[in-house]
Amino acid sequence: MKTQITELFGIEHPIIQGGMHYVGFAELAAAVSNAGGLGIITGLTQGTPDKLDAEIKKCQELTDKPFGVNLTFLPSLTPPDYPGLIEVIINNGVKVVETAGRNPAVYMPAMKDAGIKVIHKCTSVRHSIKAQDIGCDAVSVDGFECGGHPGEDDIPNFILLPRAADELDIPFVASGGMADARSLIAAMALGAEGMNMGTRFIATKDAPVHQNVKEAIVNASELDTRLIMRSLTNTERVLNNPAVESLMAKEKAYGDELKFEDIIDEVAGVYPKVMMDGEPEAGAWSCGMVAGLVSEIPTVKELIDRIMAEAEKIGSSKLQKAI
Ligand SMILES: Cc1cc2nc3c(=O)[nH]c(=O)nc-3n(C[C@H](O)[C@H](O)[C@H](O)COP(=O)(O)O)c2cc1C
């Protein structure tokens, strides 16, 4: 399939694996890129330039196809060494960066000078326009369904994607709730040039996370996610579990007085325990409603091959016949 996104990133299929904390390691990124999509290493999981440098080099040993690095810009008292992380991305010749969180404008000149294509993750049309204005090459539009941080507008993709299509000149991928060929064809009908998946890629054989996490996603339905931290204007969609219920009980009790410190036990240092040690109930971790569409654990290649084969069938038989 040829779209503006496959052309922009030099990939075979318009499928991107979004950056995911403690999931987006070299193994997964390389598996996605080897299967013809665009794999993404999560920069902040590595944390330091030296560690990111090693992870990028590892990925380069596993694939000779293009892959990217996610840089999530979080408000922080002690911010990571973003200039150092960008330097190793440039020095290793990585040509795609997925930015997320705060506006990446200050880092754009360095990335553009190095010939890097930047795709910024946005949960609203206004942020997507801003991304276009500061020189991003593409946008990943994350609807309300998405795992992780859906923003505060609560606009689902059936509205958000065509709104983005109406306003943007640069290409965008649909993100949030994407799982299969139906997602891809629907996203393209709504104006996207491809799709980005997070949760779906965790439940694959290639994702270097504990089997318990994959099974938790397979066993979850579309009813099993919760929104937390809304009163902190840092809303996150997570998989429900006893720790999340305890966190939500605190949110209810404290109301607008809730502070981050009140819920630190349920959110801090959770990812290594969940993803590496296999304790999915250790705290709150991002997961999309799309878990309801995930019923097995294929390899990344099986997943992507199936999506592309079925997408062709939907396009060439079902839609063409109906029209
Ligand atoms: C476990 C997990 C961790 C994530 N971590 C990050 C992250 O560190 N940075 C980021 O930009 N997005 C992160 N995301 C969001 C994904 O990149 C992607 O936008 C989102 O999962 C899409 O929604 P979906 O899960 O419905 O496919 C994370 C998502 C999940 C499920």
Instruction: Tell me the pLDDT of the chain (323 aa) as tens digits.
Output: 999 999 999 999 999 999 999 999 999 999 999 999 999 999 999 999 999 999 999 999 999 999 999 999 987 778 999 999 999 999 999 999 999 999 999 999 999 999 999 999 999 999 999 999 999 999 999 999 999 999 999 999 999 999 999 999 999 999 999 999 999 999 999 999 999 999 999 999 999 999 999 999 999 999 999 999 999 999 999 999 999 999 999 999 999 999 999 999 999 999 999 999 999 999 999 999 999 999 999 999 999 999 999 999 998 888 888 88
Index of the ligand 1 atom closest to the CA of residue 287: 31
Ligand 1 centroid from CA 147, angstroms = 5
| Type of residue at 24 | G
Q: Residue 228: CB partners within 8 Å, gap ≥ 6?
A: 235, 236, 238, 244, 247, 248, 251, 263, 267, 284
Q: Are 19 and 152 within 8 A, CB to CB?
A: no
pLDDT at 36: 98
Strand 138-142 relative to strand 236-239: parallel, antiparallel, unpaired? unpaired
DSSP 267: H
Is the beta carbon of 21 within 6 A of some atom in ligand 1? yes
Nearest CA to ligand 1 atom 4: 20
Ligand 1 centroid from CA 321, angstroms = 36
Ligand 1 centroid from CA 62, angstroms = 23
Ligand 1 centroid from CA 21, angstroms = 8
Ligand 1 centroid from CA 18, angstroms = 6
Nearest CA to ligand 1 atom 5: 20
Is the beta carbon of 271 within 6 A of some atom in ligand 1? no
Is the beta carbon of 198 within 6 A of some atom in ligand 1? yes
Distance between CA atoms of residues 225 and 239, nearest Å? 4
pLDDT at 74: 86
Q: Are 136 and 156 within 8 A, CB to CB?
A: no
Distance between CA atoms of residues 174 and 157, nearest Å? 8
Is the beta carbon of 43 within 6 A of some atom in ligand 1? no
Ligand 1 centroid from CA 61, angstroms = 25
Distance between CA atoms of residues 14 and 69, nearest Å? 17
Ligand 1 centroid from CA 318, angstroms = 31
Index of the ligand 1 atom closest to the CA of residue 200: 27
